[in-house]
Amino acid sequence: MNEKLTIALTKGRILKETLPLLARAGIEPLEDLSSSRKLVFATTRAEVQLVIIRGTDVPTYVRHGAADMGVVGKDILLEHGAQGLYEPLDLGIARCRLMTAGPVGWQGSGARIRVATKFVNIARRHFARQGVHAEVIKLYGAMELAPMMNLADLIVDIVDTGNTLRANGMEPLDEIASISSRLVVNKAAMRSHYSEIQQLVDELTAIVKESDDAAA
């Protein structure tokens, strides 16, 4: 483990919504993340540093102890597993839904369908529970194109507003999971840095509760 407490943050929307929470806990990067090409950042709390990486890499860094804690979408944890990790807090940010979607008016094509997604494991489990034989086709983006080009019947993807689906003649069908960003902690770090980590978890828990109460 590093001497400093290392927190791995997910690039993109999750990062933008995580930084204000950390700031309320007194943790702010000492330089502008948007104008820097660095990946590791010192913060206003000398004992804490941030690393900015892809969401799919956050559990790996935390699981192997390269980072003590991390912030990652629940979709990543569902797809790749959370072995070796504690998941002490739902931060309640970057909320969205993991859903199946298909062309408007799609009625199904029997017990065998083709599904395009980057969430291969989640899709297989979902359709297996429904007793549907699904040929799962892994894609990395532009899922809506797959049914349009007859590559797949349905897709499994993250849905926020649904505008992209509608713009491409598709509609959401079944919700698989409600997604938000989670705080994850390395199990060994939780033992070796218990007081520091637990203090931060407690601070963030209180901040999230305040935000939830204000929004209610």
Task: Evaluate if pTM is beyond 0.85.
Answer: yes
20 and 46 both lie in a single domain: yes
Residue 190: CA count within 13 A, CB half-sphere: 16
pLDDT of residue 1: 45
Low-confidence ranges of the chain (pLDDT < 50): 1
CATH number at residue 112: 3.40.190.10
Range of the domain at 61: 5-94+180-215
Shared-domain flag, residues 151 and 193: no
Give how many domains the chain has, as a whole number.
Answer: 2
Would you say 159 and 99 are in contact if contact means Cβ atoms under 8 Å apart? yes
- What tens digit of pLDDT does each residue of 198-213 get? 999 999 999 999 988 8
Q: Can you list the positions of beta strands (E) in 82-211?
A: 85-90, 96-103, 112-117, 133-138, 154-159, 170-179, 181-186
Residue 214 pLDDT: 82
pLDDT score for 110: 67
